[in-house]
């Protein structure tokens, strides 16, 4: 009998307890600066590196919860589409790829459509899921965009698109490319209804998604550092045999060259979206409504002040028409006006002299009958 193995070791195990397995994802390394971030700290920062501000990819469900008030929103059911009409197969069958992606993400395809309040205003959001086959756009994604557009028109609500995609899904061939035209028509339907269509470009937004609905927004917002383009930078360099500029296809580069309207950090995205939606949805004054009259001095464009307009009736009989030049507008005409006035004065003087001479002549004459 070995007392060490039979007595001492069990005693030590009972005192120490069983060892717990340490998860592999407790710490995350920032891909930009290499800083190690504890997973709870990273989640609290919405997957933004606290050291350098690098925006890591955010799961689509977390993004929706971040945008809507109190994370409250309703998922919109999407119609089913044929799973594999082309019976496509490469090293793996397309149906198997779909099944694996659905099991990994618990989603039916690469898009989620939701409706909910953003600062108390009902908004329809269509968000791509990059974890589902790279967010590629196939028939199901095209159908989801159409459903989102129809819902926005029916609810008279703005439509917000959040793409994160590698482009069209090659396993569906021409059926995938057809979705570019379909989603473009869906976006036009929203615009024809006079509703805002806002795009939030996230990393990455490329390929056929960029070439269609991602670049049609009334307002284009991008997250910092997001890659937005059609073909990849490496492919472009190999094609044109030139070195691309630093930061090419990044959100900041696009902002500098006028391709996006603003680059907004993730923690300010909801407030910015709400402000843009409020401005675009603000009703205009009716055409027959009188404009408000200022009641106090208002700054003029030149930096000075002008007096307020009178509210009572104004006698404008002596007021020149704005389209008619006045002497003050034309110095030459002003000189002519002075000359005209001088001529009139001279003529008046001559008349006075003539009248005085006539009066003196009449005075020198003897009265009649003298």
Contacts of 127 (CB under 8 A, 6+ apart): 60, 63, 64, 111, 112, 113, 114, 161, 162, 164
Asked if residue 49 belongs to a known ligand binding site, the reply is: yes
Contacts of 230 (CB under 8 A, 6+ apart): 206, 207, 210, 211
Closest by CA to 142, choosing from 163, 117, 118, 120, is 163
- Residue 14, both tokens: 């009972």
Using a 10 angstrom Cβ sphere, with 0-12 exposed, 13-18 middle and 19 or more buried, the burial of residue 107 is middle
**Residue 136: Cβ within 10 Å count:** 24
Burial 324-343 (b: 16+ CB within 10 A, else e): eeeeeeeeeeeeeeeeeeee
- Phi, then psi, of 261 in degrees rounded to 5: -90, -30
The position carrying tokens 């028939």 is 139
Asked if residue 23 belongs to a known ligand binding site, the reply is: no
DSSP string, 13-63: HHHH-PPPPPPTTSEEE-TTT--EEEHHHHHHTTSB-TTT--B----HHHH
Largest CA distance in the chain: 181
Distances (CA, A) of 223 to 152, 250, 272: 24, 10, 12
Angle between helices 60-67 and 269-281 (to 10 degrees): 60
Asked if residue 148 belongs to a known ligand binding site, the reply is: no
Asked if residue 239 belongs to a known ligand binding site, the reply is: no
- Do residues 200 and 228 lie in contact, with contact meaning Cβ atoms separated by under 8 Å? no
Could you tell me how many residues make up the chain? 370
- Residue 245, both tokens: 């500029």
Closest by CA to 248, choosing from 224, 229, 220, 263, is 229
List binding-site positions.
30, 33, 49, 52
Residue stretches of the annotated binding site for Zn(2+): 30, 33, 49, 52
């Amino acid at each position: 009998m070995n007392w060490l193995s039979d007595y001492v070791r069990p005693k030590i195990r009972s005192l120490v307890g069983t060892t717990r397995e340490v998860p592999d994802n407790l710490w995350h390394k920032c891909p930009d600066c290499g800083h190690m971030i504890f997973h709870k700290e990273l989640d609290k920062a919405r997957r933004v590196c606290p050291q350098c501000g690098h925006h890591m990819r955010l799961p689509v469900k977390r993004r929706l919860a971040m945008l809507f008030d109190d994370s409250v929103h309703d998922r919109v059911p999407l119609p089913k589409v044929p799973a594999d009409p082309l019976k496509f197969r490469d090293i793996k069958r397309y149906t198997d790829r779909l099944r694996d992606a659905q099991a990994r993400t618990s989603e039916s395809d690469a898009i989620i459509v939701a409706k909910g309040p953003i600062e108390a205003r009902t908004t329809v959001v269509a968000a791509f899921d990059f974890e589902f086959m790279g967010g590629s756009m196939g028939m199901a994604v095209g159908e989801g965009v159409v459903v989102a557009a129809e819902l926005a028109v029916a609810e008279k609500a703005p439509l917000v698109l959040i793409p994160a995609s590698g482009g069209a899904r090659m396993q569906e061939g021409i059926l995938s490319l057809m979705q570019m035209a379909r989603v473009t028509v869906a976006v036009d339907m929203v615009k024809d209804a006079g509703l805002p269509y806002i795009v939030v470009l996230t990393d990455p937004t490329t390929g056929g998604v960029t070439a269609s609905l991602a670049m049609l927004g009334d307002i284009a917002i991008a997250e910092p550092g997001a890659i937005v383009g059609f073909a990849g930078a490496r492919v472009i360099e190999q094609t044109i045999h030139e070195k691309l500029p630093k930061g090419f296809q990044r959100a900041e580069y696009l902002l500098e060259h006028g391709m996006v309207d603003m680059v907004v950090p993730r923690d300010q995205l909801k407030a910015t979206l709400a402000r843009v939606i409020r401005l675009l949805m603000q009703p205009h004054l009716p055409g027959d409504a009188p404009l408000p009259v200022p009641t106090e001095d208002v700054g003029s464009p030149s930096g000075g002040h002008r007096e307020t307009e009178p509210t009572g009736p104004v006698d404008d009989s002596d007021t020149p028409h704005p389209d008619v030049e006045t002497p003050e507008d034309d110095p030459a005409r002003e000189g002519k006006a002075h000359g005209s006035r001088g001529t009139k004065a001279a003529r008046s003087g001559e008349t006075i002299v003539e009248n005085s001479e006539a009066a003196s002549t009449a005075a020198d004459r003897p009265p009649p009958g003298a």
